[in-house]
Amino acid sequence: MQSAAALTDKFLVSLTYPPTLSLWVGLCGLLLMTLRRRKTAVALCSFALLWSLLWSVPVASDWLRGTLEKRYPIMDEAALPRADAVVVLGGGNDYAWLDRAQVHPDQLEGSRLAAGARAWLAGRARVIVLSGGGGGGGGNGDSEAYRMAEAIARLGVPASALMLEEHSRDTRDNARNTTAMLRSRGMKRVLLVTSSLHMPRASLLFRQAGVEVLAVPVPEPANRATWRQRWFPSRRALWRSGRAWKEYAGLMAFYLQISD
């Protein structure tokens, strides 16, 4: 059974998704309406509606995400400095390209695994650490790291160059577990590969865990070629906004922890 703290954390994280926050604020507004607090009730209900509407607009969603994604510039892997290891974080990996007859890392702009493979193929580090738990998480072949290892083999990275960290459930675990694994082998400098959106929080947690981080952000591009794609509200834009607010919530939690 999950602890009260874990359930509270899950509830707070759920509020970063705009419709969830709108729902709870709207319910508070309806409650106040029954208590004859009409002005406050109308204000809350209006906020609830506008909050989700705003972040469902692709232009607004892209702006919000850009405040995080632009903190670390995209770099060509050949221009990266050398490190002890490349660390690729799980989550956000799309393996649809595995169905292709032939695939090359340069063809996969938005893939974390491809970015890690490109850095390794460019000779930036001798080892790639794949970090991701899930499943049994005990080396029995159902962890995310194990699935990542199977996928990255298609990109030209041999099993001999891989280290698997299979016990993490979140980014903080990624940082602690991976750092412990690396430091036991005398490795202290890593090329950290994750999405541009996730990089600000991930890099902070890895530095806190005790390694030198060189950021290798991976873009998550969105096609905005037409007016409709830029301005017409969509569920996809709403989801992308929710991911950005989740990252901001994580950053706030990190800084509050530091200040305690």
**CATH code of the domain covering residue 92:** 3.40.50.620
Number of residues in the chain: 260
Determine the Cα–Cα distance for residues 89 and 129; give it in Å rounded to an integer.
8
Is there a domain that residue 224 lies in?
Answer: no
SS3 22: helix
If asked whether residues 81 and 144 sit together in one domain, one would say: yes
Q: Name the residue among 110, 120, 115, 114 with its Cα closest to residue 84.
A: 120
If asked whether residues 141 and 242 sit together in one domain, one would say: no
Q: Name the residue among 200, 219, 217, 240 with its Cα closest to residue 59.
A: 240
What pLDDT, in 10s, does the model give residues 230-244? 999 999 999 999 999
Region of residue 131 (phi > 0: left; psi between -120 and 50: alpha; otherwise: beta)? beta
Q: Domain range spanning residue 161? A: 77-218
User: Tokens 């974390």 correspond to what residue?
Assistant: 112
What pLDDT, in 10s, does the model give residues 165-210? 999 989 999 999 999 999 999 999 999 999 999 999 999 999 999 9
If asked whether residues 207 and 100 sit together in one domain, one would say: yes
If asked whether residues 102 and 184 sit together in one domain, one would say: yes
If asked whether residues 16 and 119 sit together in one domain, one would say: no
Is there a domain that residue 226 lies in?
Answer: no
- What's the whole-number average pLDDT of the chain? 89
Is there a domain that residue 37 lies in?
Answer: yes
Question: What pLDDT score does 137 carry?
Answer: 47
If asked whether residues 61 and 86 sit together in one domain, one would say: no
Is there a domain that residue 113 lies in?
Answer: yes
Is there a domain that residue 178 lies in?
Answer: yes
Facing residues of 131 across strands?
89, 165
SS3 152: helix
Is there a domain that residue 170 lies in?
Answer: yes
Q: Name the residue among 122, 76, 84 with its Cα closest to residue 206.
A: 84
Region of residue 134 (phi > 0: left; psi between -120 and 50: alpha; otherwise: beta)? left
**Mean pLDDT, residues 124-138:** 81
The mean-pLDDT minimum among 18-22, 52-56, 92-96, 101-105 falls in 92-96
If asked whether residues 33 and 116 sit together in one domain, one would say: no
Pairing of strands 189-195, 212-218: parallel
The mean-pLDDT minimum among 139-143, 154-158, 219-223, 249-253 falls in 139-143
Number of domains in the chain: 2
Is there a domain that residue 54 lies in?
Answer: yes
What angle, 0 to 180 degrees and rounded to 10, lies between the N-to-C axes of helices 38-55 and 235-259?
A: 110
Q: Distance of alpha carbon 26 from its chain centroid, rounded?
A: 29
Is there a domain that residue 223 lies in?
Answer: no
If asked whether residues 137 and 169 sit together in one domain, one would say: yes
If asked whether residues 177 and 105 sit together in one domain, one would say: yes
pLDDT beyond 60 at 5: no
If asked whether residues 127 and 158 sit together in one domain, one would say: yes
If asked whether residues 118 and 181 sit together in one domain, one would say: yes
If asked whether residues 57 and 132 sit together in one domain, one would say: no
What angle, 0 to 180 degrees and rounded to 10, lies between the N-to-C axes of helices 112-121 and 144-152?
A: 50
SS3 of the chain: helix, strand, coil, percent, to 5: 55, 10, 35
